[in-house]
Amino acid sequence: MFSLQKLIGGDQVFFDLLEKSADEARESVQVLVKLLAAPGAGALDDFALLRKKDKRITEELSERLTTTFVTPLEREDIEALSTSLYKIPKTLEKFGERLILCPERVRRTDFSRQAELLEKAAEIVLTMTRGLRNSPDLEKVKEQNDRLQYLEGEADKLMVELLRDLYNGHKDPVSVIALKDLYDLLEKVIDRCRDAGNVLFHIVLKNS
């Protein structure tokens, strides 16, 4: 275990901002669930709002890193985690935009399995981020990160299954292209969650 509070300054604002960013990431997954249930421009507005809020958080973190002499974590670690978290709502917004472009071609497509994996992954990332300020146990963090790796692996298996079905010749070429793009974006979001987990585990390991 490690004590971040022992560092000079003990500034909690960095933890506050990182937790807010992780919470925005989780909320963006909830917006995805809403969008899949009822596709429409309203969900796109929600995505855009979340992404803008997270961008402001990322910018504030960057500014504070420039003006703060002592930080509770190494600067490059804060930057790496901030970037990883920001990419989650950003990628989900792209998914929403693409989904709305061709609703008639993907109307009957079931994305619920990807959404379920994303909900679990985003929740783990938020839990790991919230734990940073409280001297997290290395073994517990490793278990959480291993869970993220497992979910990413399940997403990979699902992707293979979906592509096999996509390429079996039952859909027209334009629908195949559109769905392949959407599948890729959802897989990227899972990858973003895994990346954030890796950064979080690296931070705890480095400070243990």
Residue 140 has pLDDT above 90, yes or no: yes
Residue 2 has pLDDT above 70, yes or no: no
CA neighbor of 126 nearest in space, from 12, 52, 29, 60: 29
pLDDT band at 207 (very low <50, low <70, confident <90, very high): confident
The Cα 139–Cα 137 span in angstroms is 6
87 vs 3, more confident: 87
Q: Determine if the pTM surpasses 0.75.
A: yes
The Cα 163–Cα 85 span in angstroms is 28
Q: What is the 3-state secondary structure (H, E, C) of 71-113?
A: CCCCHHHHHHHHHHHHHHHHHHHHHHHHHHHCHHHHCCCCCHH
Lowest mean pLDDT of 4-13, 17-26, 150-159, name the range: 4-13
Please list, in sequence order, all residues whose beta carbon lies within 8 angstroms of the beta carbon of residue 186, skipping any fewer than 6 positions away.
95, 111, 114, 118, 155
Task: Identify the pLDDT of residue 141.
Answer: 96
Task: Identify the pLDDT of residue 5.
Answer: 44
> Which token pair is 88?
């989650």
Tell me, what amino acid is at 82? Answer: S
Task: Identify the pLDDT of residue 8.
Answer: 39
pLDDT digits (tens, 9 = 90+) for 183-194: 999 999 999 999
pLDDT digits (tens, 9 = 90+) for 45-99: 888 888 889 899 999 999 998 888 888 889 999 999 999 999 999 999 999 989 8
pLDDT digits (tens, 9 = 90+) for 89-126: 999 999 998 988 877 777 788 999 999 999 999 999 99
Task: Identify the pLDDT of residue 37.
Answer: 85
Question: What burial class does residue 157 get, using C-beta atoms within 10 Å of its C-beta: 0-12 exposed, 13-18 middle, 19+ buried?
Answer: exposed
Residue 33 has pLDDT above 80, yes or no: yes
Residue 1 has pLDDT above 70, yes or no: no
Output the CA–CA distances (angstroms, integers) from residue 172 to 3, 102, 106, 133, 184, in the order listed: 58, 13, 12, 51, 18
Please give the share of the chain, as a percent, with pLDDT higher than 70: 94
Question: What burial class does residue 122 get, using C-beta atoms within 10 Å of its C-beta: 0-12 exposed, 13-18 middle, 19+ buried?
Answer: buried
Domain-by-domain residue ranges, the chain? 9-206
38 vs 127, more confident: 127
User: Architecture of domain 9-206 in CATH?
Assistant: Up-down Bundle (1.20)
Phi first, then psi: give them for residue 123, nearest 5 degrees. -65, -40
Task: Identify the pLDDT of residue 11.
Answer: 66
